[in-house]
A and B are shown apart, each in its own frame.
Chain A
Amino acid sequence: METSPAPAAGRPADTSGTVVEPGDGLPGTRRRRRGRRGAVIRVLQVVLAVAVLGGWELLTSLRVIDPFFFPRPSDIAVRIWEWISTGYILDDLAVTLEEALLAFVIGSVLGLVVGFLLARVSLLAGVLDPYLKMFNALPRVVLAPIFLLWFGLGIWSKVAFGVTLVFFIVFFNTFQGVRDVDRVLVDNVRMLGASEYHLVRHVLLPSALTWIFSSLHISAGFAITGAVVGEYLGAAKGVGYVIAQSEGVFDTTGVFAGMIILMLVVLVIDLLVNRLEALLLRWQDPAKTA
């Protein structure tokens, strides 16, 4: 699993892949042209979705594709609706989200603190460097069984698993953010009378936060990945558990329904993260980060 999203220079890459809307001040004709282009793209996107889903539906109805392995989209939609309308999935979804949120918060705080410490205390960084590298090189999925043994079938084994994923992303970004802080900013604030506390509060932390927020999409996604994979491997609740149960009775419709529900949830979270990011990084030049 790739867990070092920090690119070498300047700003972290925008991994969300979202298209930045053109700002105000575009000449009218250009904006209109863009608007028309946008409409064309929207229409083509819908056409693509209809073609793929319709083709899938048709081919399964004609038995060209075996609906046992690839259930009909209409069946999946019905299943999702059943699960939501009866509230069957809601408890499991709540558990998954709780695990993800806890993993996200604990992993972020730990990553922030450790990243800060290591960036400021070079002796510590020197000593711990090989161990952190070794631990990060470990494919994290292999930790799930041992966490199940240590923390049991409840939520904490999943939280611990998610923490190991989130921690390294936040840690690397914090470390980089504090290390990469502009020397002139530090000197300037020190000349203005900053204590070590002021330096952290006004310069180092905001500098690191820009990196951390930019990686929020990845760490939020990993928090959910951690929860679901943990549930899949052994749990009594959660969307991952539901998927595993469906798989156990060869109910591929259930597996697909679970997948799609997770996908939708992650999309919603991603939108919220976008909003949060725009608010917290509003001081950044949009022209430069676009």
Chain B
Amino acid sequence: MTDDSTAPAVQLKGCTRRFDTPSGGEYVAVRDVDLTIAPGRFVSIVGPTGCGKSTLLNMAAGLLEPSSGEVFGFGEPLRGLNRRASYMFQQDALLPWKTVRDNVALGLKMRGVASAEANERALHWLRRVGLEGFANRYPYQLSGGMRKRTTVAQTWIVDPDVLLMDEPFSALDIQTRQLMENELLQLWQGSNKAVLFVTHDLDEAIALSDEVVLLGVGPGSRVVGRYEVDLDRPRDLMDIRSRPEFVRIYEEIWSQLKEEVMKTYAKDSPALAK
């Protein structure tokens, strides 16, 4: 991990999050997690299903408060929502009753930018994500990939310092997904934005990130590994997966991820049998 003299963009210190279960019990999603993302770094969180990846992201966003431990944004303890972060959700989060342009301009308008200027900048962003000419469509009229592009424009237009992404491309078909990943990297390159990217796809995590953080089996997941990904940038995701360095890093992380996945299975099977 790099030791930055400036404050980290996002820092989780000893964060634990418990949830009450409907049966009156308690469920610990993540336990004692330390996580540091320096400004401009691309960090992915990978782990088996149900390991609390999204919980970490929601704590970084301020949507969830840690039960114990603390979250910092640029050195300041987080109170309420993380105002310097944008969040890209796994599910469709566009407002269905607003046109593409109005969805993209929304963040600016709510920050008090004049309507005409906000619309102007929204159109500019729509050009950047290749959706020129779709400004007046409604979300239902777009394909899944186009909706994701709209979401990218919506989250980037407010120029956040931190981008939180929760499996943003998992619903897309594999080709669209690779295209979107490439475009994301092109946008991010040189933007000096910190990215915290959650995925269950190790491939995607390595291809995109500077650092991959591996979460262990839930409940009570902890960080079980951190891997530096020292592949050159800018990267071309279309052929990076066959490069020997990529394969080496993949195998290194997969050997440990595999163990965690097997543990999940071992845990789940008796639970299912009950």
Measured CB to CB, the residues of A under 8 A from B are 184-185, 187-195, 198, 202-203, 206, 210, 282-285, 288
Contact = CB atoms under 8 A, between A and B. Distances in A.
Contact of B110 (A185, A198, A285): A198
Contacts of B95: 185, 189, 202-203, 206
Secondary structure of the A contact surface, majority rule: helix
Given A187-B63, A206-B95, A193 B89 contact: no
Interface of B: 61, 63, 81, 83, 85-87, 89, 91-93, 95-99, 106-107, 110-111, 138-140, 154-155, 158
B89 A283 contact: no
A192 B158 contact: yes
A91 B62 CA distance: 62
| Chain B interface SS verdict (over half) | loop
Nearest to A195: B110
A278 to B, nearest CB: 14
Given A184-B89, A284-B96, A191 B106 contact: no
Given A191-B86, A193-B83, A193-B111, A285 B140 contact: yes
A283 B87 contact: no
25 contacts: A184-B89, A184-B91, A185-B93, A185-B95, A187-B63, A188-B87, A188-B93, A191-B85, A191-B86, A192-B106, A192-B107, A192-B155, A192-B158, A193-B111, A193-B158, A194-B110, A202-B106, A202-B110, A203-B95, A283-B98, A283-B99, A283-B138, A283-B139, A284-B96, A284-B140
A40 B184 CA distance: 56
Nearest to A205: B97
A283 B83 contact: no
Contacts of A203: 95
Contacts of A206: 95, 97
Given A187-B63, A284-B140, A192 B110 contact: yes
B140 A283 contact: yes
Contacts of B63: 187, 190-191
A28 B201 CA distance: 45
